[in-house]
Amino acid sequence: MTPPAEVEEPTKAREGGIPQSRRVVLTRLAVAVLGVLVLMFPMYWMIRTSLASTAELSDLPVPLWPQEWLWRNYVEPWKAYPFARWLTNSVVIAALSVTLTLAINLCAGYAFAKLRFPLRNVLFLLIISTLMVPVQVIMVPQFQIVIDLNLLNSTWGVVLPRLAEAFGLFMARQFFLGIPDELIEAARVDGAGHLRTFFSIVLPLSKPLIAALVIFTFMWRWNEFVWPLIVLTDPNAYTLPVGLQFLISQFSTNFGPLLAMSFLSILPMLLVFAVFQRYFVEGVARTGLK
Amino acid sequence: MTTQAPTAGRTARGSAGRGAPRGGPRLRLPRRGPANAALRAERWAGLVLASPALVVFTVFMFIPLALTFWYSLHRYSGFGRMRWIGTENYRNIASDSTFWKALLNTVLYTAITVPIGIALGLGAALLLNRVMPGRGLWRALVYVPVVISGVASGIIFLRLFDPITGILNQLFTGVGLPAVDWQGSGTAALVSVIIVTTWQGIGFGMVVYLSGLQGIPGELYEAGAVDGAVGWRRFWYITWPMLAPTTFFLVVYSIIGSFQVFDVVYVLTRGGPGTSTTFLVQYAYDQGFNQRRQGYAAAIGVIIYVIVLLFTIAQWRLSRGRDEA
């Protein structure tokens, strides 16, 4: 049976060779807008609540639009808690993690993809086999190692253990496998050493890989919770997610300031996403299936 | 290495499927024989480039993994001496009702969230794959929850789920439904966790499915249209089978992810009320860092590891079987 909507006046709008009638396009658009509105409502409600007083929030039903704009929900907790400090910690940890993850994974990924050295395949399999180890499985001894290295409450205690994550290495190796051997051999014939070939021929070709690695490492480390929660016990050393969960107990049911701080904590990530969202989407496609 | 039977079918598959380089430059050096200078240079370069990763993985992954097994055979508070107790932790786990509840919760949660997440991700992808005004914006907005931390998501929904002033219950009572005690009753708490993690995950599923849809050649649809495959038939006979590898990847990825869910639960319910939202990783964390039973926590870790490992082997076997079918 052919739905009548499919045959009447096919428009030029087509993908995969499927004609769509104007009515179908409009129906799809309506469903999309409705779906996005539902998905975005919690975000709107966070911002709306962040500007409300406790009185306004207990006045049922809570009005959909703010009746007053209570900016002190943002100002007062910012002053009362080391929020700027948490922000700085998060930025430092994310920046260090991204830089080191990139350096380690690009080098190792290239070695595992293109260079022959003893035990190469065994080592790669060993590393890849850890791809699915949940952090919670190894956190007890990892915690002990961090204590032994005297890294409790330090930035390095958060950063270093999470560098041992096979995802980036796997991604990098897959990407380098796709670079033709002929290109590398040509550079070698021209007299470039292996390291020189890597740094001046291969790396400049790796911008899509680097973009995807930067974006995902930044996102994962910025949002990371359980590991910083364990390593950072001093409130001054907290990252934003850890600080945020600390604020839950401080504000209890005083939702205005709590949601103001929640919004502030996700704002940097939202800005990064707004600027680079095209790469986020491409990055998932690349890492997910290739 | 399998011995290749030189049947026609095999050879055809082999040349199609294994045409890609299997890694490593094709060396024109003699494979056997004296290692010459070029080979030595390559080995040296390989080891230099790989060594930072090897050091990091040894110190922070392989040693902790080995230690997890070692700790799981001890009684250990995290301070002072460890006491060897053999398999006592495992025997205690076997008779620990909270552990079994946590395992059941984890499996139940996985069985519910994975199909829902896949269905919604696929729905969003199918909807937003076609040309429509503002398509890029809708795609980006669906992806927004993915980039928000689990803690912030938990707090946002804590507000929405508030039993008295939360908007969800206002909505429910507004249309004549009873108010739900989201954090007070076990089933509702589990549902609330499922709602939040589903909200977080739709965007990821959508993007993966979008890239899968992009891989379906348009000619298939044109040929299908000639044979009368339109509407739902087009979906069932062309789109869905062509998306099988994508679906498979997402199922595996989501199951592994759902065994690790932590932050949303930590913020939203802390595993409660009672043990109704206690998952395996919650329980391991609680035992190790609140109850200070690090040996016991390590044993739970070993069990999580074994489950994930068995599952990974099973899916690997399955996917190989499917490729060869």
Model confidence pLDDT, tens digit, residues B299-308: 999 999 898 8
Residue to test with chain A: of B60, B81, B204, B252, most A Cβ within 10 A: B60
Amino acid at A249: S
Amino acid at B153: S
Query: Among residues B199, B323, B196, B311, which one has the least CA distance to residue B255?
Result: B311
pLDDT of residue A287: 63
Mean pLDDT to the nearest integer, B238-244: 92
- Residue of B49, B141, B150 lying closest to A110 (CB–CB): B49
**Whether the predicted pLDDT of B313 surpasses 60:** yes
pLDDT-derived band at A290, boundaries 50, 70, 90? very low
**What gap in Å lies between CA B123 and CA B126, rounded to an integer?**
5
**Whether the predicted pLDDT of A164 surpasses 90:** yes
Decide if B41 touches A, using CB distance below 8 A.
Answer: yes
pLDDT of residue B5: 40
Reduced to 3 states (helix: H, G, I; strand: E, B; else coil), residue B74 is strand
Mark yes or no for CB contact B231/A241 under 8 Å.
no
pLDDT-derived band at B16, boundaries 50, 70, 90? very low
What's the complex ipTM?
0.87
Alpha-carbon gap: A205 to the closest alpha carbon of chain B (Å): 17
DSSP for A14-83 reads EETTEEEEHHHHHHHHHHHHHHHHHHHHHHHHHHHHHT--HHHHHSSSPPSS-SS--THHHHHHHHHTTH
**What gap in Å lies between CA B180 and CA B267, rounded to an integer?**
19
Q: Which residue has the higher pLDDT, A19 or B151?
A: B151
CA angle A219, A223, A224 (to 5 degrees): 115
pLDDT-derived band at B166, boundaries 50, 70, 90? confident
**Whether the predicted pLDDT of B30 surpasses 60:** no
pLDDT in tens, A259-282: 999 999 999 999 999 988 888 877
**Whether the predicted pLDDT of B75 surpasses 90:** yes
- Residue of B26, B256, B304 lying closest to A136 (CB–CB): B304
- Tell me the residues of chain B between 121 and 180 that have a Cβ less than 8 Å away from chain A: 124, 127-135, 138-145, 147-153, 155-160, 162, 164-165, 167, 170, 174
- Residue A16 has which token pair? 């995969």
Query: Among residues B58, B126, B51, B66, which one has the least CA distance to residue B301?
Result: B66
**What gap in Å lies between CA B129 and CA B242, rounded to an integer?**
15
**What gap in Å lies between CA B70 and CA A139, rounded to an integer?**
14
